[in-house]
């Protein structure tokens, strides 16, 4: 009996490690995306609330300098929101690229796994055939011995 062996174990292990590394990278990028998206939403909420407050207090500012300060604050928030939107868009692109790499790595691992399963199935089938052949020979020899003996 010859024993077959799956010769792609090293390739499968390498693919699994690559997949794990990409999974880790994806998680890190996703976490960063979520954090930056939260900051963006927080700034948008601050801007909305500040505008509402300005409308409520319109005409009640004690002097013009306070009104100018509020407008500068609104301008600053608007600028920060634009910067944050660009950052979120950039990270979203990185996230999509990483997602595609991860998907490809998962498919690559799955292909090798399927090949391994097929090889193992073939090995089991061959072993079963050899075992059946051996049992048939034993039965034939036993029958011959009982007839001649």
The per-residue pLDDT for 61 is 66
The tens digit of pLDDT for each residue in 43-61 reads 999 999 998 888 887 767 6
Residue 1 has pLDDT above 50, yes or no: no
Which position has the higher pLDDT, 144 or 3? Answer: 144
The tens digit of pLDDT for each residue in 71-116 reads 899 999 999 999 999 999 999 999 999 999 999 999 999 999 999 8
Percent above pLDDT 70 for the chain: 94
The per-residue pLDDT for 125 is 95
The per-residue pLDDT for 4 is 58
Own/partner long-range contacts of 31-36 (Cβ < 8 Å, ≥24 apart):
32/91, 33/88, 33/91, 33/92, 33/95, 36/84, 36/87, 36/88, 36/91
Mean pLDDT of the chain: 90
Residue 6 has pLDDT above 70, yes or no: no
Domain ranges of the chain: 9-109
Gap between the Cα atoms of 31 and 135, Å rounded = 60
pTM above 0.75, yes or no: no
């Amino acid at each position: 009996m010859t024993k077959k062996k799956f010769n792609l174990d090293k390739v499968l292990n390498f693919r699994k490690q690559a997949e794990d590394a990409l999974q880790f990278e994806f998680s890190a990028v996703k976490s960063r995306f979520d954090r930056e998206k939260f900051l963006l939403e927080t700034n948008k909420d601050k801007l909305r609330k500040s505008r509402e407050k300005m409308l409520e207090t319109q005409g009640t500012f004690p002097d013009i300098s306070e009104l100018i300060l509020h407008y500068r604050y609104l301008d600053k928030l608007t600028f920060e929101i634009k910067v944050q939107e660009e950052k979120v868009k950039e990270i979203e692109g990185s996230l999509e690229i990483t997602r595609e790499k991860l998907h490809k790595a998962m498919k690559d691992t799955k292909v090798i796994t399927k090949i391994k399963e097929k090889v193992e199935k073939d090995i089991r089938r061959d072993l079963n055939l050899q075992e059946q052949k051996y049992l048939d020979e034993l039965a034939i020899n036993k029958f011959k011995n009982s007839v001649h003996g």
